[in-house]
Amino acid sequence: MAYVAPAEVEQIPPAEVEDVELYHAKSWVTKYVFSQDAKVIAIQYSATAIAIGLVGLVLSWLMRLQLGFPELFDFIEPSDYYQFITVHGMIMVIYLLTALFLGGFGNYLIPLMVGARDMVFPYVNMVSYWVYLGAVILLIVSFFVPGGATGAGWTLYPPQAILSGTPGSEGGIILMLVSLALFIIGFTMGGLNYVVTVLQARTRGMTLMRLPLTIWGIFTATVLALLAFPALLVGAVMMTFDKLLGTSFFMPALVEMGVYLDYGGGSPLLFQHLFWFFGHPEVYIVALPAFGIVSDLISVHARRHIFGYRMMVWAIVGIGALSFVVWAHHMYVSGMNPWFGFFFATTTLIIAVPTALKVYNWTLTLWKGNIRFTLPMLFALAFIVTFVNGGITGLFLGNVVVDVPLSDTMFVVAHFHMVMGVAPLLVVFGGIYHWFPLITGRMLHEGMGQFHFWVTFIGAYTIFLPLHYLGFLGVPRRYFEMGETNFIPESAQDLNAFVTVVALTVGVAQIVFFINLFWSLKNGKLAGHNPWKACSLEWRTAHVPPRHGNFDDLPVVYRWAYDYGVPGADEDFIPQDVPPDRVSTGKGEV
């Protein structure tokens, strides 16, 4: 796979499809606003996702203020608090990470990395973004309708989500559901593009087993999303009907604040199954792209090929497939059929094996490498640490009987922030530091980057590590305030206050990151072609940043994306489109 023998040149097949005809924008508006260029769409997606992510971040501060200093901030009412956690969770998982990884990184990198001129259906791709924007706007609007946004938790469990004891049960929940439905529709349009582009629009010589792992991660995540979102969509539709039409899909006979309601016979557990049939793949939807991207970051900056590439690909595919049969590990104490516990605990722990292999392969890539401590590498290292930490706490929760005392405590909150809130977000940052030179032609400022990295990594770790121990004490999640108990020590509150202070610090430190982004746009060091000396195709365009259509002539691929440190070659890397007979070997041209 690695050092392609000259004989293989012969086997690069001819082009199967004619080169596409590009749509050329006629005006400023069609070029930058209603653009059909995947790269512009990617930037639109990313900017929107990050903007809404900042809203999520601010919400997390408000939550932390309340948790750290429960008496102090009387402008935060319990109902506000529940709205904050709900919208915070929803924004972070779906509107920020899913959109950023797939819509943002996916749109930018897929065509470039597979050697295509654009996505296969640029028009649909464009519509995808605008629908997504609509979903985001609806989400924001929901804060301003009477009753405010929904406070049902991001899991939106009925009956509670649509009954009056929950904030936002008047209008907020409906807007939330509609916004989700819109997100799914928009995502489906984009997602079909990503999948078909990877499957059907690769350049000559680009076999699936030569794809950079970034693409494998994004591709698999997109497939998961296309198959998992239907469950959420259906659940959302049915809940909307329960609320608006008075149907009883999820509503058994019940009493709302003493009033017997006209519902009967429905199954609240059904919604939970639907939600988690979506929800578990969803967490891998945000994890797999991170896995992929981090593999590339590690390989490039350790100047070493990724270790066990085939294993990495199969692990991604395997994790993706398995993620559809583990969903009810979120429901161990939901009152579902008890024997499910055996099934789901087993599948859940099995999924740890491919994940563990990925972790090993990352570390084995570092091993015997030539590691440069660039910013992307720092973030990648931090990812490994936080991900392993969060992953192993997943093993606690996955082992059904251990989950019983820990479920719905701060331990769960700590688990998923470490594994989802911190780890993939570090990869997002790493990815931005890595590809910013490609997108803008300039490097980000190193000093500001270092500061941002250390504060974010150490800070985020410090925020969430102690929360596990609150979970062991038995502090429940989604508590506006802990109040009096006879078993939780006073010191738990001090810990909470400490965590809040750290969280605010980390949050404020993000300002440095944004300053860096804008400052470097104008003043960053010029990057030139391929500043990191990477092998994959996105750095092999004629222009940096790549223009509409990406490549002048479509590249032909002769090798995998990880030919770093090939013995015999002069350089320590050989880009994918360098034919074997062009590799300079010191002994002269072959």
Partner 1 sequence: MAHAEAHVEGQQHPLGIYFKIWALLFVLSTLSYLVDYYNFEGYLRWTLILLFMFMKAGLIISVFMHMLWERLALVYAIALPTIALMVFVFLMTNEADNTFLLRGIYFLGLGGS
Partner 2 sequence: MTDSNTGQVAARTEGMPGIVSDWSSDQRAFKNVPWGKAMMWIFLLSDTFIFSIFLLSYMTVRMSTTIPWPYPSDIFALSFGGEPIPLILIAIMTFILITSSGTMVLAVNYGYRKDRVKTAILLLITAAFGATFVGMQAFEWTKLIVEEGVRPWTNPFGAPQFGSVFFMITGFHGFHVSVGVLFLIIIARKVWRGDYDVGRRGFFTSRKGNYEIVETMGLYWHFVDLVWVFIFAFFYLW
Partner 3 sequence: MLVPIMLLLVGLGTVVFHFVSPWWWTPIASNWGYIDDTIILTFWVTGVVFVGVVLFIAWCTYRYRYQKGKKADYEPENAKLEWWLTILTTIGVAAMLAPGLWVWNDFVTVPEDAAEFEVVAKQWEWTYRFPGKDGKLGTTDAKYINDDNPFGINPKDKNGRDDILIDDGEVHLPINQPVKVLLRSIDVLHDFGIVQFRAKMDMVPGTVTSFWFTPTRIGEFDVLCFELCGVGHYAMRGMVVVDSVSDFQAWLDEQPTFAQSLAEAESDSDKSSNRVFSEASSPDREIAR
Query: How far, in Å, CA of 531 to CA of 546, rounded?
Result: 14
What residues have CB less than 8 Å from 249, skipping those under 6 apart? 238, 239, 241, 242, 266, 267, 270, 271
* Single residue of 234, 325, 359, 495 touching ligand HEA by CB under 6 A: 359
Distances (CA, A) of 382 to 216, 348, 379: 22, 25, 5
Minimum CB distance to Cu ion, residue 428 (Å):
21
Nearer to ligand HEA, 202 or 415 (CB): 415
Q: Write out the two tokens for 67.
A: 């948790």
Establish if 140 lies at the interface with partner 1 (CB under 8 A).
no
Q: Which stretch binds partner 3 (CB under 8 A): 34-42, 105-113, 479-487, 524-532?
A: 479-487
Establish if 249 lies at the interface with partner 3 (CB under 8 A).
no
What residues have CB less than 8 Å from 543, skipping those under 6 apart? none
Establish if 93 lies at the interface with ligand HEA (CB under 6 A).
yes
Provide the residue type at 527 as one letter.
A
Residue 586 is given by DSSP the state: S
* Single residue of 73, 241, 314, 340 touching partner 1 by CB under 8 A: 340
Q: Pick the closest to residue 229 from 93, 106, 335 (CA basis).
A: 93
Minimum CB distance to Cu ion, residue 61 (Å):
27
| Residue 124 binds which entry of Cu ion, partner 3, partner 1, none, CB below 5-8 Å type-dependent | none
Establish if 80 lies at the interface with ligand HEA (CB under 6 A).
no
Residue 256 dihedral angles phi and psi, to the nearest 5°:
-110, 110
Establish if 124 lies at the interface with partner 3 (CB under 8 A).
no
Of 451-510, binders to ligand HEA (CB under 6 A) are 456, 460, 463, 477-479, 503, 506-507, 510
Distances (CA, A) of 266 to 245, 335, 455: 14, 15, 49
Of 262-281, binders to partner 1 (CB under 8 A) are 267, 269-270, 273, 277
Of 154-193, binders to partner 3 (CB under 8 A) are 155, 157, 159-160, 163, 165-167
Instruction: Point out which residues pair with 260 in neighbouring strands.
Output: 255
* Single residue of 47, 209, 353, 511 touching partner 2 by CB under 8 A: 209
Residue 15 is given by DSSP the state: P
Q: Write out the two tokens for 226.
A: 């296309």
- What mask, x for binding partner 3 by CB under 8 A, covers residues 365 to 384? -xxxxxxxx----x--x--x
| Residue 123 binds which entry of Cu ion, partner 2, ligand HEA, none, CB below 5-8 Å type-dependent | partner 2
Q: Which stretch binds partner 3 (CB under 8 A): 130-138, 193-201, 343-351, 526-534?
A: 343-351
Reduced to 3 states (helix: H, G, I; strand: E, B; else coil), residue 191 is helix
Query: How far, in Å, CA of 541 to CA of 438, rounded?
Result: 10
Establish if 342 lies at the interface with partner 3 (CB under 8 A).
yes
Minimum CB distance to ligand HEA, residue 518 (Å):
12
Query: How far, in Å, CA of 40 to CA of 4, rounded?
Result: 35
Q: Which stretch binds partner 2 (CB under 8 A): 103-111, 152-160, 191-199, 309-317?
A: 191-199
Distances (CA, A) of 78 to 66, 87, 479, 493: 10, 14, 9, 18
Which residue number is nearest to Cu ion in terms of Cβ? 280
Query: How far, in Å, CA of 394 to CA of 399, rounded?
Result: 9
Establish if 210 lies at the interface with Cu ion (CB under 5 A).
no
* Single residue of 145, 325, 357, 569 touching partner 1 by CB under 8 A: 325
Residue 540 is given by DSSP the state: G
Residue 165 is given by DSSP the state: T
Nearer to partner 1, 202 or 301 (CB): 202
Establish if 509 lies at the interface with partner 3 (CB under 8 A).
no
* Single residue of 30, 247, 267, 584 touching partner 3 by CB under 8 A: 267
- What mask, x for binding partner 3 by CB under 8 A, covers residues 59 to 88? -------------------xx--x------
* Single residue of 330, 434, 452, 468 touching ligand HEA by CB under 6 A: 330
Residue 442 dihedral angles phi and psi, to the nearest 5°:
-130, 150
Establish if 17 lies at the interface with partner 1 (CB under 8 A).
yes
Mark out the alpha helices in 399-482 (DSSP H runs).
400-406, 410-416, 423-440, 446-473
> What is the CB neighbour count within 10 angstroms for residue 544?
20
Establish if 417 lies at the interface with ligand HEA (CB under 6 A).
yes
Q: Pick the closest to residue 589 from 565, 567, 570 (CA basis).
A: 570
Query: How far, in Å, CA of 66 to CA of 426, rounded?
Result: 26
> What is the CB neighbour count within 10 angstroms for residue 131?
19
| Residue 366 binds which entry of partner 3, ligand HEA, Cu ion, none, CB below 5-8 Å type-dependent | partner 3
Establish if 273 lies at the interface with ligand HEA (CB under 6 A).
no
Minimum CB distance to partner 2, residue 244 (Å):
9
* Single residue of 200, 207, 485, 585 touching partner 3 by CB under 8 A: 485
Which residue do the tokens 């606003």 mark? 33
Establish if 334 lies at the interface with partner 2 (CB under 8 A).
no
Nearer to partner 1, 269 or 495 (CB): 269
Residue 117 is given by DSSP the state: S
Q: Write out the two tokens for 318.
A: 């395997």
- What mask, x for binding partner 2 by CB under 8 A, covers residues 402 to 441? ----------------------------------------
Binding positions for Cu ion, rule: CB under 5 A: 280
